[in-house]
Amino acid sequence: MLQEILIQFWPALMYGVIGAVVFSIIGMISGTDETATMVPLTLMVIIIGAPPAAVFTFWMAGAVSKHMTHAIPTALLGIPGDTMATPMLEEADLLRKLGIPHIALKKMISSSIISAFIAVVAAVGFAIVLAPFGDIITKFAPWVFLVAAVLIAYFSRGKMASVLLLIPFVTIILALKAFTADYNIKLGVTYFLAIAIGPLIADLFYIISPMGKKAHHREAKNQVQIAPDLQMWKGYFPNPFKILNKKQIKFTAITSLISSATFVFSPVAMTVVLGEFVGSRIKNTYHKLTTVLSSKNGVTESTYIAEALIPLIAFGLPLSPVAAGPAAPLFNAPPVFNVETAEVAGNNLHHLLTPLDFLFYGLLSVVLAGIIAYPFAMNYARSAALFVVEKISHEAIIATFIGLILVISLWEGGLIGVLTVMGLGLIGGLLSKNFGFNTGCQFMGYYVAVLSVPAFF
């Protein structure tokens, strides 16, 4: 049995290392949303023919690494590294004002690695428990997606508005699908990218208009404060168990387990909720800040891991915000992978890897992130943060992402793809910023349009 698992070992190791390195770097750059970066790169790895275990290890090592290095700009600069880092800004800011952001960083990253190991094991366990229900759930998939979409919408900032907004949003997706079908084009990843980069597209259209430019006008350059240098640990590889105290290890473990079980909820929401839970248990300010921060960063890891692993192992259907968003290509990447629908049998990582494969390569991914991202973040945090903030202008990042959406949409659907990404991006971005109908809701709305609606009509 071990032999079967190990056949894919070398490619998986190679892709895992690449994933860990690439996403450690990306995590350092602020504003690099997980979906926008992980979907195209993972898709690419799939298309060039990497074996299933290698694809999985690439994605998982990348996700774990990214959620370690995203702590660097968050703790040292007060700028969120990516979407998952935003709930931690408040605590990070307070620790900076106390003059100890390096402690914040140390603790966040240590908690990450511990939480990640726990989450892999817990997620596989939960998935195996849920797996017997997998067949039933797959049969009722159209309903399940609809219910999941309504729940995820209700727990977003828009609340009931988000639930109701599902209706026009799903209609728009259906309209776009009919439009592209007219030209014999079928888009997939373009929709995800449009949703992920929507806020940028909406912002760009807005500031090109005179009233938008005036509204967003700034008098001065952005003031960025970086904490001073303070090396406070010895050796290249600090022990995470020595950096966190007993209570912090305990809370990391508890929050990791809870967030692994609640795999259908928004990862950002879980981070916030569990952070509140931990904070309510500690009454000393310093201890509260460090413990809440470390638990929260641990949750960013465990939610991503569980929300990808459980749907992958138990259902083969993207039944969680992470599976529907950043991990989408693991489920659906035509022509290589596809989700099971009424017409077509499913063929994706769920069918190609066994639960033991997932456990083994999941742990391998966390080990790789631990070897690559962890010491890098611990030892080079400040110089890396300075480099990014001094040398990489926001203009350059915008240029890269514009290029990204153009290349992907052209690759998938030519000019029709570009029109789709512009239109959906604009609408999605506006809904997200102004109505609280966030990207998680939009991803689920996409799946309702693609899976539920055809089944009902």
Q: Which of 1, 160, 178, 220 binds other proteins (CB under 8 A)?
A: 220
Give the nearer residue to other proteins in terms of CB position, either 54 or 127.
54
Q: How many chain residues touch other proteins (CB under 8 A)?
A: 70
Write a three-state SS string for 158-213: CCHHHHHHHHHHHHHHHHHHHHHHHCCCCCCHHHHHHHHHHHHHHHHHHHHCHHHH
Q: How far is the CB of 112 from other proteins (least distance, A)?
A: 19
Give the nearer residue to other proteins in terms of CB position, either 128 or 288.
288
CA distance 357 to 9: 10
Q: How far is the CB of 91 from other proteins (least distance, A)?
A: 12
Give the nearer residue to other proteins in terms of CB position, either 269 or 408.
408
CB 84 within 8 A of CB 70: yes
CA distance 399 to 311: 34
Q: Which of residues 404-423 bind other proteins (CB under 8 A)?
A: 404, 406-408, 410-411
Stretch of residues binding other proteins (CB under 8 A), selected from 43-51, 162-170, 351-359, 419-427: 43-51
Q: Is 249 left (phi over 0), alpha (psi -120 to 50) or beta?
A: alpha
Q: Give the type of residue at 212.
A: G
Give the nearer residue to other proteins in terms of CB position, either 171 or 280.
280
Q: Which of residues 250-309 bind other proteins (CB under 8 A)?
A: 282-288
163-196 burial, b at 16+ Cβ within 10 Å, e below that, comes to bebbeebbebbbebbeebeeeebebbbbbbbbbb
Q: Which of 178, 223, 342, 343 binds other proteins (CB under 8 A)?
A: 223
- Does position 234 bind other proteins by CB under 8 A? no
Nearest to 40 by CA among 376, 391, 431, 407: 407
Residues 6+ apart with CB under 8 A from 198: 424, 425, 426, 427, 428, 429, 430, 431, 432, 439, 442
Q: How far is the CB of 347 from other proteins (least distance, A)?
A: 14
CB 118 within 8 A of CB 258: no
Q: Which of residues 322-361 bind other proteins (CB under 8 A)?
A: 335-336
State the DSSP code for 219.
S
Q: How far is CA 323 from the centre of its chain?
A: 9
Give the nearer residue to other proteins in terms of CB position, either 131 or 397.
397
- Does position 168 bind other proteins by CB under 8 A? no
- Does position 99 bind other proteins by CB under 8 A? yes
Stretch of residues binding other proteins (CB under 8 A), selected from 91-99, 144-152, 265-273, 445-453: 91-99
Q: Which of 185, 204, 254, 367 binds other proteins (CB under 8 A)?
A: 204
Q: How far is the CB of 142 from other proteins (least distance, A)?
A: 29
Give the nearer residue to other proteins in terms of CB position, either 135 or 229.
229
Q: Which of 3, 184, 225, 231 binds other proteins (CB under 8 A)?
A: 225
Q: How far is the CB of 143 from other proteins (least distance, A)?
A: 34
CB 138 within 8 A of CB 340: yes
Count of all residues that appear for the chain in the document: 457
Q: How far is the CB of 104 from other proteins (least distance, A)?
A: 11
Structure tokens at 395: 């203009």
- Does position 211 bind other proteins by CB under 8 A? no
Residues that bind other proteins (CB under 8 A): 30-31, 40-41, 44, 47-49, 79, 94, 96-100, 103, 199-200, 203-204, 207, 213, 216-228, 232, 245-247, 282-288, 335-336, 386, 389-404, 406-408, 410-411
